[in-house]
Amino acid sequence: MSATNNNSLIIAKFGGTSVADYDAMNRSADVVLSNPAVRVVVLSASAGVTNLLVALAEGCNAEQRADSLANIRRIQYAIIDRLDSAAVIREEIDRMLENITTLSEAAALATSPALTDELVSHGELMSTLLFVEILRQRAIAAEWFDVRKIMRTDDRFGRAEPDCAALNELTQSLLQPRLAQSLIITQGFIGSEAKGRTTTLGRGGSDYTAALLGEALNASRIDIWTDVPGIYTTDPRVAPAAKRIDQITFEEAAEMATFGAKVLHPATILPAVRSDIPVFVGSSKDPAAGGTLVCNQTDNPPLFRALALRRRQTLLTLHSLNMLHARGFLAEVFNTLARHNISVDLITTSEVNVALTLDTTGSTSTNGSLLSSSLLTELSSLCRVQVEENLSLVALIGNELSQACGVGKEVFGVLEPFNIRLICYGASSHNLCFLVPGEDAERVVRTLHGSLFE
């Protein structure tokens, strides 16, 4: 197979729940084998394993360590115990578990980002070894491939960036020639830097791996198998009548992800967007249910595509009479926020007030509050500050929204019973956003979904 001749090549990626146990792995194997075009399979660690490894990497006491190690062993052994001839794979997994033990003892003495990546990578190494064994039991020619040989990254441990030129070159020389002989099973999320130390690509990294390999191999499609059969008009748990979207553009999917929908993260599928490779999202539990195809363009994109909900939003209202005809007030506010590493999400202004929401996406702090007392003190010297918490952001995702007539009436007409705290509309033709009290959020989404999509 030459580099240009991969037009029917598909990369299939399976998330943690799809390789959680023996039965899940077999369902995923069925999905892989049902389509001869699938030649490369990218796996996450078995569900729960990465969290246990992260806990070990943070350096815990002997009791917690023994507990986490026992849990990892239990998850992997539940799969091994159901394999036919398991002697060889048992040895390999035992060796991995020994490594994990040694590394976790080192972490208990001193933690480091490099050590964390080395430890965490074992989740994917183990799930791929076990999956190869499951395929071999079915007499399938499957080969385990260490993705670290080709996924060259920088050394920002925990959030490493791939070197695409090196990746493409190494993929062509080391991975491409193997595709004709066997099915390749490899790891998502992990890579290695110039000195050969293991790195990780950050959370959501397995989708990113699949997209990068798809680009390097010039694949015809990337299939992302998770526990949901595609992308819906809104979260079905909020509005049970939500419908699956059969085809959606990358741009719309990115908007949905930005506004809190648990769909593909836009950064992770960037290589697919760049190279115009469609991405399919389906459920490995129920592959027959179909899914959603994400691609660069769709036929007749609708005015309204989906609703996304982002909870726990904070609204800052800044009031200053000095603002009336003053230049530079907003610049000073933004400078202050930037110094505190805060980016602004939505903003509306009046003659003497500015209302803005803070972007909490991507922040790891669990409490979600970005407002330190030093920030509030600094802002208070500029203006009067009012803080409102527990708001929710509802985003209506669509196409050419800012050019359409009657959108306001269609959206806000049905929301008459609700208090709407802030509206952002017109900056993007792909979204209309507004803030509502947190306790009303789900009712607002259901009401709007009912009138626009049902």
Annotated binding site for substrate: 50, 124
Assign 144 to helix, strand or coil: strand
Assign 10 to helix, strand or coil: strand
Region of 59 (left: φ > 0; alpha: ψ -120 to 50; beta: rest) is: left
Tell me the pairing of strands 291-295 and 279-283. antiparallel
CA distance 88 to 74: 18
> Within the chain, how many helices (H) and strands (E) appear?
14, 16
Annotated binding site: 13-16, 50, 124, 226-227, 232, 237, 262-263
Assign 334 to helix, strand or coil: helix
Phi, psi (deg, nearest 5) at residue 261:
-70, 140
CA distance 298 to 292: 12
Give the pair of three-digit tokens for residue 116: 């964390």
Assign 255 to helix, strand or coil: helix
Helical H segments across 172-312, by residue range: 205-216, 250-258, 270-274
* Packed helices 113-120 and 49-57: angle between N→C axes, nearest 10 degrees: 150
Among 438, 433, 446, 397, CA closest to 419: 438
Strand blocks (E) in 16-115: 38-43
Phi, psi (deg, nearest 5) at residue 192:
-145, 150
CA distance 432 to 426: 7
Give the list of residues 6+ apart from residue 217 with CB closer than 8 angstroms, or none.
3, 6, 9, 11, 40, 171, 175, 176, 179
Assign 114 to helix, strand or coil: helix
CA distance 229 to 384: 48
Annotated binding site for ATP: 13-16, 226-227, 232, 237, 262-263
Burial of 90 (0-12, 13-18, 19+ CB in 10 A): middle
